[in-house]
Structure 1
Amino acid sequence: MAQTLPAHASVVVIGGGIMGCSTLYHLAKMGVSDAILLERNALTSGTTWHSAAQVRALRHSQNLTRMIQYSVDLYSQLEQETGQNVGWIQKGSLSIATNPDRLIHVKRQEALAHAYGIDAVSVSPEEAKERWPLMNADDVLGAVWSPDDGRVSPSDVCAALIKAAKGLGAKLFERTGVTGILTENGRIKGVETTQGTVMCDAIALCTGLWSREVGAMAGAEVPALACEHFYLLTKPIDGIVGNTPTLSDHDNHLYIRDDSGGLLVGCFEPMGKPIEPGRLDGSFEFGLLPEDWDHFEPMMMNALHRLPALENAEVKMLLNGPESFTPDGTFMLGETAETKGLFLGCGMNSVGIASGGGAGMNLAHAIVHGHTAYDLGEADAKRFAPIFNSVEHLMARAPEILGTHYDIAYPGKQLSTARNLRALPLDSEYRAAGAHMGQFYGWERPLYFGKTEEPRMTFERPDWFENVKAEVAAAHESAAIFDASPFGKIEVQGPDAEAFLLKTCAGFLGRAPGSVIYTSVLNERGTFESDITAQRIAEDHYRLFVGTAAIKRDLAWFRRHSEGFDVTLTDSTEDYAVLGLMGPEAARIVAECGAPELNELGYFKVGPAHIAGKHVRAARMSYVGEAGWEITMKAENASAVYAALTEAGAKPAGLFAQTSMRIEKGFCAMGHELDGDTTPIATGLDFATRKKGGFIGAEALAEARESGAINKVVSIRLDDENAMPLGHEPIYFEGEIVGQTSSCAFGYRVGKPVALGHTHTPLEDGARVQIDIARTLFDATIVHGPLFDPDGTRMKG
C-alpha cells in the first residue's frame, strides 16, 4: 500500500466496496494509471462484505441485463487474470410461483430472457422439486430455471479487482477518510482527507451507505438511504451436500441457498426498516445491526413452510446488515447535475455484487469518455426530483423499495409512500373528477378519471379499461383535455438564443417567431440526449418543452453547452400550466371561450390569445393524433381556463389515454423508442434534422446515413383483442426473435392491442409476426408508419 497521498490524481474514487473497486479497476484498464481509491476504513467494510452476493443476470431492460452479463464474464475471468480466487459458483437459480399471477410474471421473465440471449426454461413443480429436494412443493404451480446464474465471494472479488488495478498503476489508500470536497465554479477541484489534500479532475463517489452525506460535501443531491436487511444462517443440516442453486420464493419474499453445509435464508419483507442518517458513523466497520427476531418472524414462518427441514436446524445467526436504497429501486450512475466532475456509483438497492462489475465499467467509461458504454438512462444520476433528497421522504420511501424487490410487475402499479409531494395547478379539480393518480418526478398526474375504488392489480384486462375508452372517445369524437403541466420548461433568452439552439439542437431552430419546432437533441455520437419541442416566442426568446423527468438532466446538458453564448437559461416548469385541448369539437370550444383567432393558427404555429379572460399562448400541434392546441398559461390562471373549457364541453383525459393514442400514431418517446443508443435515423425521425449539419452529433449522423442506416421502429397490431402486451416482449418472425416491443397499450381507435417496437431484421409492411407474452405467442401484423390516420389529416385540422 502506498504511504503518501499524491498531490494530484486524474480521478479519485471514494469508497472501497464493490463499486469503488470495480471503478478503479476499469479506470486503470482504460488508461487512467494515476487513479487512486480512498477508503475510510478497510476494503469492503461497509455493505459489500456481508452481501449474499447473488449474481442473477436477468433484469427488466436489455442494457441492465447486459451490464450484469458483463459482471458474470468479468468475475469468471478475474482469477485467471490475477491468480486471486473469487469464489465463483455457478449453480443456477430456480424461481418458483405459488399463485397464477406470479406464474405469469416468471413466464414473462422467461420470455424476456430469450430476447436477451439468457438461458431460461419453464419447469414443472415436479422438476422444481428435483432441483431443490428440501423444498415443500405442494403449493408450487410452476417455476423457471436459469442455469447460468451464480454467486461469488464479495471480499475476494474486491481483492482481485484491486490487485489487477495496482498492477496497472492505480493506488489504494485505506484508513483515509474524506473530510471535504473542493469545488470551484460548480466543478470538482480536489478532495480533503485525514491524510492530506489531493487535487483531481473527477471524483467517483462510491460510498454506499454514506453517499447522500458525501455528495452534499460537493453540493450534489444523492437520494439514497440505508435500510436493515436480514438473512438467517444455520449450522449444517442433513440434505445439504455441496452447493445448491439459489431458490427464489418471491411470493414469500425469500431467497434461499446453501452456506457452509447449512442454509442461508434471506428476505425482502414487504416493508423494511429504515436507518436514519447519522446512526452509522465513521466507526461502523465490518459492522452489523442488532438481531430483530420480532421483525423477521413472519419471514421465518414463510421459510418454515417452504423448508420443513428448518424446524430442526440450529441457528448460527440472524444477520442484519445495512443496504442502501433509492426512491425508485435502481442505482445511480453518472455525472451529477449540480457538480461537474462528480460521478455517482451508489444506491445499489441490494444488487451491488451482481451489478458491480458492469456498473463499475460503465462509470469508468462515463468518466473517461463522457458517457456510459451503452444507454443506462434508467440509472441516470440526474433523474430524481430534488424533493426526493429529503430525509423525511427517503425514510418513508426506502423501506417500501426494499419490499418491492420481489414484487410482481403488474401494469399500472404505483408506489404508496412519499406521495402527494408536488400537486398540479388543477389537482383539486382532477380529484373531484375521480382521478386515479400516478407519481412522475414527484408530480401527481391523472392516469385516468372516474375512479370509484382502488383498481385491482392484474395481468388481465384492467379495471380502468372502460374509463380510458371513454376518454379516448371524447378526444376522438368531441374534445378532451390532457394535462401537460409537469413537462419541463426551459426559457432560453438572449441575443445568442438562436445560434445556441442551432448548435445544441438537430432541428431547424431558425424559424420565425410564432413557430413551433420539434427537434432531437443529440450527443457527439449522433444518438439521443433528449427530444423536445421549442416555441419561438421572440427573436431572442424560446421556450423549450422537455420530458417530465428530464428537466434536471436536460437543463444541466444545455447549461454545460452554453459556454461562449450570450444566453440565459431558466427553469420555468412550475410557473406555467399546459393543457392540451384535443378533438373535433376543440375549434368550437376555443371560439366560445373567447379565442376564435386560434382557429387561424397554422399547424406547428404558436400565438397568444385570451380564454376566460386569461392570457394564454396556444401551439397548434397534437401528441394524440386529434386536432387541437397545447395551451400554456400562468399556473394561477389554470383553474379559470379549465372551467371555461369544461363548461363548453371538454372532458378531462389521463395519461393512459394519451399513451394509447400516442402509440396508435407511432409517436416515439424517450426511454421507450428513443435513448442514448439510438439515432434519429433508426427511429424514423431523420426528417426533423438539418442535413447541412452545424449541430452537435451532425457528423456522426451523416456517417450513419452514408453507411445505410435505416428506421428500425415499427408499429404492431395484435389480432387477439384480449392480448396484454406491456413492453419488452420478444417479436418472432418465422420462428426467430427479430426484435422487441417498446411501448404497448390497447388501441381504442384501432380496436386491437397495439405496440411500437424495434426490429433488428428488416420486415416488410404487413409482415405477420408473433409476440411472446408470458410464453404464449400472439399473432400480429407489422405496419410501417402509424396505425391510426397514417396521413395525419385529423390532427392537422
Structure 2
Amino acid sequence: MADSTLPAHASVVVIGGGIMGCSTLYHLAEMGVTDAILLERNTLTSGTTWHSAAQVRALRHSHNLTRMIQYSVDLYARLEEETGQNVGWIQKGSLSLATTPDRAVNVRRQEALAHAFGINAQWISTGEAKERWPLMNADDVLGAVWSPEDGRVSPSDVCAALVKGAKARGARIFEKTGVTGILTKDGRITGVETTQGTVMCDAIALCAGLWSREVGAMAGADVPALACEHFYLLTKPIDGVTGNMPTLSDHDNHLYIRDDSGGLLVGCFEPMGKPIKPGVLNADFEFGLLGEDWDHFEPMMMNALNRLPALETAEVKMLLNGPESFTPDGMFMLGETAETKGLFLGCGMNSVGMASGGGAGMNLAHAIVHGHTAYDLGEADAKRFAPIYNSLDHLMARAPEILGTHYEIAYPGRQLKTARDLRVLPLDAEYRAAKAHMGQVYGWERPLYFGKTAEPQMTFARPDWFENVRAEVKAAHEAAAVFDASPFGKIEVTGPDACAFLQYVCMRNMDRPVGTAIYTAVLNSRGTYESDITAHRIDTNHYRLFVGTNAIKRDLAWLTRHRDGFDVTLTDSTEDYAVLGLMGPKAARIVAQTGAPELNELGYFKVGPAHIAGKHVRAVRMSYVGEAGFEITCKAENARAIYAALTQAGAVPAGLFAQTSMRIEKGFAAMGHELDGDISPVVVGMAGMAKKTGGFVGAEALAEHVKTQSLSMVTIILHEDTAVPIGYEPVYLGDKIIGQTTSAAYGYRIGAPIALAHVRQVEDGAAITVDIAGRKVAGVMRVGPVFDPGGERMRP
C-alpha cells in the first residue's frame, strides 16, 4: 500500500513509477538514501512500463551498455530471492535472422562483439534456426545468430519486486501524487510541489517517461524526448505454440515475435513511426492505449504473414498501440542536467526500458549519490544534446525516424534524414558548392567528404567515398587542405583567477607564457577523463578553450561547477568564431601569400595574431592530422573572405573522414573513442604530460594509476588491403581476445587499413587478428604512431 502523508523533506525525490523510477528508488535505498521517496501521478507502471514487450537482450554496441543490461538480468534474479516476488524471468534465448547479405554482416559483427564481451552467441545455419522456430517460413533466411542467455520478464512483477525491496530499506512510495511544480534557487533544485503538498529535497530523479520533457521544463531544463505510437499484435492460441519459445528478431522485416499465452505477440519498429503531440497523453492517461491503426500496421502485417504463415488463420486478440518515448539519437538520457543542479534524468528509454531499467536505475542512483555513474555511459549523458534538439518541430520530425532506426542496419557513415540543417557553418554555401556530403554533429552540418556526385550507397565494404577521401588526404600530405573545426566548442575563461582556475581543473601546467597553446586532459576526482581540451593563452587573464563539438554543454557545466572560490567568468563563444585548419607542406607559402608571413615565425604550439585577406585572425601552429599547418581562428563573419583567399592560393577543402584517417595514423586519441570516464591518461600514454605535482582535480587518483596501470592503447595495421574495420571489433592474440578496436579507417599515407585499440597485452610487433563480422583478418600491433612517428612533419 502506498504512503499517504508526504514528508516535509526527502534527500531525493524520484518522479515516476515505471521501471526507471522503481529501479532508481530501490538502488538509492540500497546505497543508503533511505529517506528517498517516489511520486507517481497515477499508479505504479501505469505509463509505458505495463505494456512493454519486456524483452531482455544483453548485447548492445558498447561494452558498458551491455554490462548494464547484464546487471539488469542479475538483479532481476536476485530480487526474486531477496523479496520472494516472482519477476516472471523466462530465459529461452533469442534468434536474430539475416535475410540479406548486409544483415548477415551486421548480426555477425554483433556475434563478434558478444564474444569480446563474454556473452554466449553463435552464428547458426538456416536449418538450425528453423529447428528452434518451426513455425517460421525460412525460405529467405541466410542464417541467424543464436543468443541462448536472452529472455524476458514480467514488467509489473519486476516493479513490484523493486518496490518491495526499496520499502524494506525505508524508501516510501506516494501514488496519486502528481507533480505540479519544481522549486529551484540559484539554478539548484530545492523542492517539489505536488497535488498532496510540497516536499523540500536536495535532488530529483526525473523518471517520468512520456511526460519527462514537460516536467523537466518546470525546472528550466531541456529534456528532448517525444512519444511515438508503438504497435504489437496479440493473437489467441495457435497450434504449434507450445510452452515458451525464443524471441524471434526479423529486423529486415522490422519485426520481433514471441509466444504469448499460447498465441503470438508480433511487434514492429516500422521505418517511420507516428509521433504524438505533447498534451495528447494527459494526466488521465493511466494504463492507457491509443486507437488501433490497421492501415499503418498493414505493411508490417504483410511481412509477418510471410514470416509466419500460421498467422493467416489466427484469431486476433488486439492490435495494441502503446506510446513509447524516443530521443533525437535513439539513446536514453542518464545523469545530471546542464541547466539545473540536482536534477537528474532517467528517461527517454527508446523501447529498451525493461532490459536497461535495472542497470540504468543503478547507474542513476550512483550518479546522485557519488556524482558519477558506476562506469562510463557518455553516450547516454543527459548533457549531450544541443538546445535546438529540444524544439518540438525537430522532435516531431526526428522521433518517428529514430523508432525506425532500431532495426536498421548500422552501416558505417549512416546519417539520419530528418531534422537536418538545424545549424549551418559560416562556410556552408561554399562547402555545398564543392559538393560536400554532410553529417550532423551536435546539430551542426559538417562536411564528411567533398566531390559527391550521388548519394553514397551504404555498405560494409569499401565505401563510395573511398577515393574522394584519398584525394583529400593526398592534398593535405603533398600540398594544402582546409579542415573546418568551427563546430568545436569554445569557452572564454577571463578574470584575475583565470590561470589559477585552469591550474586547478586541468592536468597540465597552464601557467605558460601569453601566446602559448596547451593540450591538456581535464580529469575527474577518479583520475579519468572528463574531457580533453586545447587552451590558447591570449592574455594574462584570458584563455580560450577549445572543446569537443558535442561536449560544449557538458564541459561548460563541469567548469562552472568547479569555479567556486575563483574570480573567473566563463563564456560560451562557440558561434562567434570560425576555425579553419590549414594543413600541409604548402601551408607556409599560403599564409605568406595571403598576408600573414609572420605566422611562419611561430614556434610549435604557439599562438599569434595576424591578418589574412585583410581580416584579423589568431593562429596556432599545431596539427591534428600530422602535417605542418595552422589552426586559424577568426570572427565567424570573416570566414568567407579568409577561406576564399586560402583556396585561391591553392588549398582544397577536406572533410571529417580524411581528418579521422589521418588522426588514427598519428595515434591521436579522441573522446568517446579512446578516451572516456573509465580511461586514465596512463593507459593512453599521456600521464607524463602532468608536469605539475598535485594541486589539480584527479591528481591523487592519477598518482595511484601511475603505480597500478600501464599502456593499453595501440595501433593495429591490417595486412589485407580491402578489409574494412569500422571500430568495436575484437582483437585476438592467438586464440585469446585481448581487446577491442576503438577507431578505424583506411590509412592512405601508410597504404593499409588501420585502427586504434585498447588491449590487455601490449606487445609491439605482435602478430594479431581482428574479427570483422566473423572473419579473422591478420595484422600487426604497433605501439605509437604508425605515420611519421617522430612528428618531424608537424614541426617544420
TM-score bracket for this pair, using the shorter chain length:
over 0.9
Give, in whole Å, the separation in 2 of the partners of 1:178 and 1:683. 46
Q: Any conservation in 1 of the 2:687–2:706 contact (CA below 8 Å)? A: no
Equivalent positions of 1:108-147 (< 5 A) are: 108-147=109-148
The reply to whether residue 793 of structure 1 matches residue 783 of structure 2 is: no
Give, in whole Å, the separation in 2 of the partners of 1:219 and 1:721. 52
Amino acid corresponding to residue 294 of structure 2 in structure 1: W
Amino acid corresponding to residue 558 of structure 1 in structure 2: L
The reply to whether residue 749 of structure 1 matches residue 749 of structure 2 is: yes
TM-score in terms of structure 2 length: 1.00
Residue of structure 2 equivalent to 1:776: 775
Amino acid corresponding to residue 721 of structure 2 in structure 1: E
Residue of structure 2 equivalent to 1:258: 259
Residue of structure 2 equivalent to 1:202: 203
Residue of structure 1 equivalent to 2:3: 2
Residue of structure 2 equivalent to 1:739: 739
Residue of structure 2 equivalent to 1:758: 758
Amino acid corresponding to residue 775 of structure 2 in structure 1: T
Unaligned runs of 5+ in 2: none
- SS of the residue aligned with 1:363? helix
Q: Render the CA deviation track for 1:703-736: whole Å, top value 9, x for unaligned.
A: 11123x1111001100001111111100000110
Amino acid corresponding to residue 783 of structure 1 in structure 2: R
Amino acid corresponding to residue 565 of structure 2 in structure 1: G
TM-superposed deviation, 1:688 = 1.8
TM-superposed deviation, 1:690 = 2.8
Deviating runs (4+, > 6 A) in structure 1?
Answer: none
Give, in whole Å, the separation in 1 of the partners of 2:517 and 2:706. 26
Give, in whole Å, the separation in 1 of the partners of 2:124 and 2:692. 53
Q: Any conservation in 2 of the 1:233–1:264 contact (CA below 8 Å)? A: yes
The reply to whether residue 604 of structure 1 matches residue 609 of structure 2 is: no
Amino acid corresponding to residue 572 of structure 2 in structure 1: D
Q: Render the CA deviation track for 1:292-317: whole Å, top value 9, x for unaligned.
A: 00000000000000000000000000
Give, in whole Å, the separation in 2 of the partners of 1:361 and 1:725. 34
- SS of the residue aligned with 2:610? strand
The reply to whether residue 403 of structure 1 matches residue 404 of structure 2 is: yes
Q: Any conservation in 2 of the 1:518–1:688 contact (CA below 8 Å)? A: no
Q: Any conservation in 1 of the 2:384–2:551 contact (CA below 8 Å)? A: yes
Give, in whole Å, the separation in 1 of the partners of 2:744 and 2:151. 33
Give, in whole Å, the separation in 1 of the partners of 2:135 and 2:465. 43
- SS of the residue aligned with 1:76? helix
Equivalent positions of 1:244-643 (< 5 A) are: 244-643=245-644
Amino acid corresponding to residue 432 of structure 2 in structure 1: R
The reply to whether residue 172 of structure 1 matches residue 173 of structure 2 is: yes
Equivalent positions of 1:655-670 (< 5 A) are: 655-670=656-671
TM-superposed deviation, 1:632 = 0.1
TM-superposed deviation, 1:693 = 1.4
Give, in whole Å, the separation in 2 of the partners of 1:577 and 1:543. 13
Equivalent positions of 1:685-696 (< 5 A) are: 685-696=686-697
Question: How many residues align structurally?
Answer: 795
Give, in whole Å, the separation in 2 of the partners of 1:509 and 1:756. 29
Q: Any conservation in 1 of the 2:508–2:692 contact (CA below 8 Å)? A: no
Residue of structure 2 equivalent to 1:231: 232
Give, in whole Å, the separation in 2 of the partners of 1:120 and 1:590. 56
Q: Render the CA deviation track for 1:336-381: whole Å, top value 9, x for unaligned.
A: 0000000000000000000000000000000000000000000000
TM-superposed deviation, 1:469 = 0.1
- SS of the residue aligned with 2:706? helix
TM-superposed deviation, 1:47 = 0.2
Give, in whole Å, the separation in 2 of the partners of 1:561 and 1:787. 38
Q: Render the CA deviation track for 1:729-786: whole Å, top value 9, x for unaligned.
A: 000001100000000000000100000000012x221000000000100001111100
- SS of the residue aligned with 1:537? strand
The reply to whether residue 710 of structure 1 matches residue 710 of structure 2 is: yes
Amino acid corresponding to residue 728 of structure 1 in structure 2: Y
TM-superposed deviation, 1:687 = 2.3
Q: Any conservation in 1 of the 2:509–2:692 contact (CA below 8 Å)? A: no
Q: Any conservation in 2 of the 1:490–1:569 contact (CA below 8 Å)? A: yes
Q: Render the CA deviation track for 1:504-557: whole Å, top value 9, x for unaligned.
A: 000110001000000000000000000000000000000000000000000000
Amino acid corresponding to residue 766 of structure 2 in structure 1: A
Structure 1, 68-77 or 469-478: larger mean CA deviation: 68-77
Amino acid corresponding to residue 339 of structure 1 in structure 2: T
Give, in whole Å, the separation in 1 of the partners of 2:66 and 2:3. 37
- SS of the residue aligned with 1:589? helix
Q: Render the CA deviation track for 1:459-501: whole Å, top value 9, x for unaligned.
A: 1110000000000000000000000000000000000000000
Q: Render the CA deviation track for 1:320-341: whole Å, top value 9, x for unaligned.
A: 0000000000000000000000
Give, in whole Å, the separation in 2 of the partners of 1:764 and 1:180. 58
Give, in whole Å, the separation in 2 of the partners of 1:379 and 1:426. 31
Structure 1, 16-25 or 698-707: larger mean CA deviation: 698-707
Q: Render the CA deviation track for 1:11-50: whole Å, top value 9, x for unaligned.
A: 0000000000000000000000000000000000000000
Give, in whole Å, the separation in 2 of the partners of 1:737 and 1:632. 44
Q: CA RMSD in A?
A: 0.5
Amino acid corresponding to residue 82 of structure 1 in structure 2: T
Q: Render the CA deviation track for 1:29-79: whole Å, top value 9, x for unaligned.
A: 000000000000000000000000000000000000000000011111211
- SS of the residue aligned with 2:447? strand
TM-score in terms of structure 1 length: 1.00
Q: Any conservation in 1 of the 2:626–2:794 contact (CA below 8 Å)? A: yes
Give, in whole Å, the separation in 1 of the partners of 2:100 and 2:181. 52
Q: Any conservation in 2 of the 1:532–1:544 contact (CA below 8 Å)? A: yes
The reply to whether residue 721 of structure 1 matches residue 721 of structure 2 is: yes
Give, in whole Å, the separation in 2 of the partners of 1:271 and 1:616. 46
Give, in whole Å, the separation in 2 of the partners of 1:778 and 1:613. 53
The reply to whether residue 28 of structure 1 matches residue 29 of structure 2 is: yes
TM-superposed deviation, 1:684 = 1.0
TM-superposed deviation, 1:421 = 0.3
Give, in whole Å, the separation in 2 of the partners of 1:280 and 1:465. 47
Amino acid corresponding to residue 228 of structure 1 in structure 2: E
TM-superposed deviation, 1:691 = 4.3
Q: Any conservation in 2 of the 1:234–1:313 contact (CA below 8 Å)? A: yes
Q: Render the CA deviation track for 1:406-463: whole Å, top value 9, x for unaligned.
A: 0101000000000000000000000000000000000000000000110000011100
Q: Render the CA deviation track for 1:636-689: whole Å, top value 9, x for unaligned.
A: 000000000000000000000000000000000000000000100111111222
Residue of structure 1 equivalent to 2:243: 242
- SS of the residue aligned with 1:639? helix
Give, in whole Å, the separation in 1 of the partners of 2:329 and 2:688. 35
- SS of the residue aligned with 2:424? coil
Amino acid corresponding to residue 188 of structure 2 in structure 1: R
Q: Any conservation in 2 of the 1:41–1:174 contact (CA below 8 Å)? A: yes
Give, in whole Å, the separation in 2 of the partners of 1:716 and 1:749. 15
The reply to whether residue 186 of structure 1 matches residue 182 of structure 2 is: no
Give, in whole Å, the separation in 1 of the partners of 2:29 and 2:504. 34
Give, in whole Å, the separation in 2 of the partners of 1:717 and 1:382. 35
Q: Any conservation in 2 of the 1:421–1:443 contact (CA below 8 Å)? A: yes
The reply to whether residue 73 of structure 1 matches residue 40 of structure 2 is: no
- SS of the residue aligned with 1:71? helix
Amino acid corresponding to residue 526 of structure 1 in structure 2: G
Give, in whole Å, the separation in 2 of the partners of 1:473 and 1:326. 39
- SS of the residue aligned with 1:696? coil
Residue of structure 1 equivalent to 2:89: 88
